[in-house]
Amino acid sequence: MQSSVPSPVPVSAPATAPVAAAAKADVRPALAGYSSTSDYAVIQHRIGLTYGIFALLLTGVFVASTGTFAFFAPAQAFKVDVSMLAYLASVAVLAAAWLLCRGKLRPHLILGLIDGGSLLSLTALLSVTSTFAPAGLHAEHFGVTLFVLALALHAALVPAPPGWTIAVSAVAAIPLPIGAYVQMREGRGMTEPFPGELGIVMVALLCVATAIAAWAISRVVYGLRVQVKSAMQLGQYTLEEKIGEGGMGVVYRARHAMLRRPTAVKLLSTSGLDTISSKRFEREVQLTSQLTHPNTIAIYDYGHTLDGVFYYAMELLEGLTLSQLCKRDGPQPSGRVIHILSQAARALAEAHSVGLIHRDVKPANIFLCVRGGMYDFVKVLDFGLVKEVGVIDPAISAPDLVAGTPLYMAPETIARPDDVDVGVDIYALGAVGYFLLTGEPPFTGPSAIEIYHDHLYERPTPPSERLGHPVPQDLEDLVLECLAKSPKDRPASASDLADALATLQIAHPWGGKEAKERWAAHPRAVIGDAELSDGLGMTLTVRP
């Protein structure tokens, strides 16, 4: 079969002019070179954190110094003067900056003013504190020391561009030499070893040295963040946050440079994979991306990272898998089971019509969401073990390979893994229906071997008998028919199964009203958990 999937955009390909222009337009207004709202929130949080920490530090210094004076010099312990008022005002400024950085995002200009203005106000007030402190305290060194600490903390915690850091540092340093000059004019200049004008020069030089050190720290911190962001770029997709992880790979929420649609990007782990497995993954994505049924998850793109890791981009879903549904709510109403199975059967029917078998139908690979106001909308996930009917390619196939998940595996998959057809998906969907009705798979056991034995030889307990209360006979009969040992005793095709389910829907309706009520009872959706990223199931090699 010829794949109609266009070639993926290579990761190393240069951005087109529109993409580059869009990226530039995104970054230009941001305070610190951030290109998304989530990134911009980071710098606001860090600015607030920086000033919050420094407010606590200055408060601790004030409490400690006041306590020291109360013990050694009670007469001066609570003497309110300009120096003390300026010091308390600096704490208030820092606390205000911390509060302003909490909650909603501030406009870029406002946040810049909060950052630069707070640092400038801090040094100005500390300069006043040093200038008007009692002469015997030698407080002229105090403001400079706190200035050095403030700039170092700011450079380390706020990942801003080095140019921004040195500009803010230079402006914030201005009050310190001015304060030293005022002290000298009043005859209260810096004491030995830097008296008079030399003290002013030394304060200025220390400010310059501190600004340069802050620039160097910022260069390292910001550079590391840029490297991390660059590493999170796959072609035109930017990875934003990890939303799932499994044995076969990791799933990230991602953003496309131009389209802006919600996207999930799955990176397949290359550890333990040989060339055959890597090629098989790529072929499976190519085949799956041909499917267009609305109940099948959409594949947008695929490619390889520079170090050879295979990835593909798919639609981002918000909802929950059937395994999560039953874990949360237990067995489901008959009408809802029919509604879910009918949609999944239609999705599988399209795959079968183009010669593809899913081979890993299970509750964790069937997702419930809301689409266009339709509740309980099904998405069949992760055709990770998809097989092309009648096609055996030695370059990407392995003999005697049992592929799938044991709890939902058809008998013929176990007995003759190289000779399976669409009946394996029908059997697995019947097992999913059994799980929805009872909250348990048809067969369970302490080991995969025992489960395989039951699939091959044991008759499943009827759902009504398992539950201890009646299940609609027509639905129970259809589920057990899907679980027949021989493929010829099951529905002939997924389309026939979907038609049979449509007939049952008339007798056991499940409409939008009932589905909406169920979703309203649990408004918080689960977003792409680990099951979404590990749908490849269990793969075992059978040795003769």
At 42 the pLDDT is: 77
Total domain count, the chain: 2
Q: Clarify whether residues 385 and 510 are in a common domain.
A: yes
Q: Clarify whether residues 227 and 322 are in a common domain.
A: no
Q: Clarify whether residues 218 and 348 are in a common domain.
A: no
C-alpha angle 186-190-192 in degrees, rounded to nearest 5: 130
Is residue 489 one of the residues assigned to a domain? yes
At 541 the pLDDT is: 26
Q: Which amino acid makes up residue 486?
A: S
Is residue 64 one of the residues assigned to a domain? yes
C-alpha–C-alpha distance, residues 442 and 438, integer Å: 9
Q: Is 360 an active-site residue?
A: yes
At 437 the pLDDT is: 96
At 50 the pLDDT is: 86
Is residue 239 one of the residues assigned to a domain? no
Q: Which of 205, 231, 257 is the last residue of a domain?
A: 231
Which of 39, 115, 301, 360 is catalytic? The answer is 360
b/e burial code for range 19-52 (CB count within 10 A of at least 16 → b) = eeebbeeeeeebbbbbbeeebbeebbebbbebbb
Q: Clarify whether residues 217 and 330 are in a common domain.
A: no
Q: Clarify whether residues 432 and 330 are in a common domain.
A: yes
Is residue 225 one of the residues assigned to a domain? yes
Is residue 78 one of the residues assigned to a domain? yes
258-308 confidence digits (pLDDT tens):
777 778 888 876 555 556 566 767 777 777 788 899 999 888 888 777 667
Cα atoms in the 13 Å half-sphere on the side-chain side of 124: 11
Q: Clarify whether residues 224 and 330 are in a common domain.
A: no
C-alpha–C-alpha distance, residues 339 and 336, integer Å: 5
> Which phi and psi angles does 210 have, rounded to 5°?
-65, -40
Spatial neighbors of 270 by CB under 8 A, at least 6 apart, are 278, 308, 309, 310
Collapse the DSSP code of 65 into the 3-class scheme (helix H, G, I; strand E, B; otherwise coil) and give the result. Answer: helix
DSSP 459: P
Q: Clarify whether residues 356 and 466 are in a common domain.
A: yes
Is residue 523 one of the residues assigned to a domain? yes
Q: Which of 190, 214, 231 is the last residue of a domain?
A: 231
Which residue has 């295979």 as its token pair? 310
Residue 104: Cβ within 10 Å count: 6
At 75 the pLDDT is: 63
Q: Clarify whether residues 227 and 349 are in a common domain.
A: no
Range of the domain at 412: 318-541
**Secondary structure (DSSP) of 505-523:** HHHS---HHHHHHHHHHS-
Cα atoms in the 13 Å half-sphere on the side-chain side of 502: 9
Point out the residues of the chain with pLDDT beneath 50: 1-36, 191-192, 388-402, 525-544
Is residue 451 one of the residues assigned to a domain? yes
Spatial neighbors of 227 by CB under 8 A, at least 6 apart, are none
Is residue 260 one of the residues assigned to a domain? no
Collapse the DSSP code of 206 into the 3-class scheme (helix H, G, I; strand E, B; otherwise coil) and give the result. Answer: helix
C-alpha angle 92-97-98 in degrees, rounded to nearest 5: 95
**Domain harbouring 530, CATH code:** 1.10.510.10
Q: Which amino acid makes up residue 85?
A: L
Q: Which of 208, 231, 254 is the last residue of a domain?
A: 231
Spatial neighbors of 368 by CB under 8 A, at least 6 apart, are 319, 320, 321, 322, 325, 340, 376, 377, 378, 379
